Structure 1
Amino acid sequence: MSEHVGVLGGGRMGAGIAHSFLLAGARVSVVERDDASVDAAVARIGDSIRRSAERDPDLDPDETASRLRVGIDVGLFADANLVIEAVPEDRGLKQEALARVDAVLGEAAVLASNTSSISIDDLAATLRDPARFLGLHFFNPVPASALVEIVRGSATAPSVIEAARWWVQSLNKTPIVVRDSPGFASSRLGVMLGLEAIRMLEESVASAEDIDTAMTLGYRHPIGPLRTTDIVGLDVRLGIAEELARELGDRFAPPELLRTMVAEGRLGRKSGEGFYNWNEERS
């Protein structure tokens, strides 16, 4: 891939997206909010490249890293073919971030949001050309995930959807295309299952381990809904549930247990504790 891909935000998701495009051969520019965040993103992506090189002896980590630029200036995106916004799941924050990127993009560039639940049409409202905007919903952890959800806004051009299919397939991932609607396909289904599992735990129906085992062995899900929530992040799941509850009603109302755990900082794998203890894996 000879494309130049930009990623706005170098956190866990943004770093994973950047890593995937680097492995596909693209030049990648990542923009963060300050110098400390730049350093963290460089370290995060560098670690991912090194781990990939350990698994793949044909991968040259130095050459791969040489195609990466990380900074604080959105001007790094000026000649990008594709820019993916990957800031936290907050409507106002995403709108502001997308507007900053939109101001520097070339006319032929495609702009995407990695949102998992916020309306693409809402995010497109302040952009110069909504026809070149769409959702590209990656899954955590990005390098290991096989799916990318392409979200088609009401104004998204068919050629942009086809270009997105090509980019996703170039990453050796499978694209699905969904219409812009609350929660799209994956978040709407996944969050509903996760919320019900949390309610069952809250009601002492069964332990977290047994609830998850019911789905992994009974329905052949690769990971149970509570362990998945830990991996995604309880705070992320709470934000998505609140968004879906506003759009679709009380069936997506977050359980009190979820709110309590987020308030206490038990966010899952990234904090070391959620429905499971992750400290040994983090050490």
Structure 2
Amino acid sequence: MSPRKTYPSDLSDARWELIAPTLRTWQKARLDRRPTGQPAQVDLREVFNAILYLNRTGIPWRYLPHDFPSHNTVYFYYAAWRDEGILARLGYTLTSLARAAEGREPEPTACILDTQTVKTSTDVPLASQGTDAGKKIVGRKRGVVTDTLGLLLAVTVTAAHLSDNALGIRLLDQAKNTWQSLSKTWVDKGFKNTVVEHGAALGIDVEVVPRKTGTRGFHVAKRRWVVERSLGWLMLHRRLVRDYETLPTSSEAMIHIVMIDNTAKRITGETTPTWRDPPLEHKP
């Protein structure tokens, strides 16, 4: 069969070389547990390309183009990588590599917390939705932790009615468990004393960065602008503009996929194609 034409969301060879070791190690471990030991016939790169395509375009699983593996196959791998923590592990590995490429220590010592509330689709179970009273949005709330470069260190997705304090505690626990070196974080004033005290118990100094007094409308807040930019990166992917996922863990996985792609591009020096760029041509 002749090679298919490329999509703008496809992995470059350089990015695939960063991602492949983690996925191949997972595949080998899975094959070793098979009674037959038969190798899988699926191209992992094409599976990951299909997930990137879905994430970027926002289509349902069943609408994946036919030149990808079947949507059932792609979803099987996606669900396995989600449930076994492979996507999170891959994302954090790339975060360390990107930091080293920028001349930073692989383990961050400082981070920024923020939340984002998004509407949910009609397919999302009511039990996992809520109402954000402040923003008057029915949906889910995303909490993210990034380093000072904007790279993902932790993520959690909950019903929108959960307070920033509750999310902040969960995020601090998750981030500290993964990155023991963390000792400083910046947050907005939505995070109250409860988060500050919890951070102190974990050995993390939590500094609240308020808005500038007397300044109306948008303005750049010290340190916090970094995580706000990262949340903006998520909104460039149609699958994340609204929450379509049945499980909150699937929403978290979709965020990991965005950041895996963005971080890999950062390491290889690539940029995300826009509608202004000429279409990609297949290179045999």
TM over 0.5, shorter chain: no
More relative contact order, 1 or 2 (CA 8 Å, 6+ apart): 2
| TM-score class normalised by the smaller sequence | under 0.3
TM-score (norm 2): 0.25
TM-score (norm 1): 0.26
